[in-house]
Amino acid sequence: MNNVLEFMGQDHDRLDKILEEFRCTKNTDVTRAVALFHDFMAVLSRHIVWEEEILFPFFEQKTHMHDTGPVAVMRIEHNHIKNYLEKIQNRILAKEINGIDELVCGLMELLADHNAKEESILYPWIDRETSDKEREDIISRMKNSSME
Ligand SMILES: [Fe+2]
Ligand SMILES: [Fe+2]
């Protein structure tokens, strides 16, 4: 695969599926829900690291847009996403898994909006502005970065 949109879009889809399964099981199978949320945090954290350490710096270096532009917005949204993760995680740790629907729905809405912007603006831009070799390097760096 030599296409950032496809590679990252698949990761978004994978994350959406895990979060949806978490939402559906959290009131009926707490053990499974906790395991799902753990997976979700691990996959999303790796995804955000790929973006913040590989894709965004590439964009910033090519465009010279550091504190403005789409990447600046994406970084702010990542902080909002992390706030949601922390709040949900705290509820889970406190065994207050019931009543977190509002947080989960808020996170889902934020991610839907955020991912749509990345898939319509940022990833296609990177695919357009890179040579085949650059894209290959970017994708292999992401594939080779281990999951914490
Ligand atoms: Fe992102
Ligand atoms: Fe993303």
How confident is the model over 100-142, as pLDDT tens digits? 999 999 999 999 999 999 999 999 999 999 999 999 999 999 9
List pLDDT tens digits, range 16-41. Answer: 999 999 999 998 998 999 999 999 99
**Distance, CA of 119 to CA of 6 (rounded, Å):** 9
Beta carbons of 69 and 63 less than 8 angstroms apart? yes
**What spacing in Å lies between the alpha carbon of 49 and ligand 1's midpoint?**
9
**Distance, CA of 142 to CA of 114 (rounded, Å):** 20
State the architecture of 4-144 in CATH terms.
Answer: Up-down Bundle (1.20)
**What spacing in Å lies between the alpha carbon of 38 and ligand 2's midpoint?**
18
Structure tokens at 12: 């978004």
Structure tokens at 125: 């831009």
Closest ligand, as measured to the CA of 56: 1
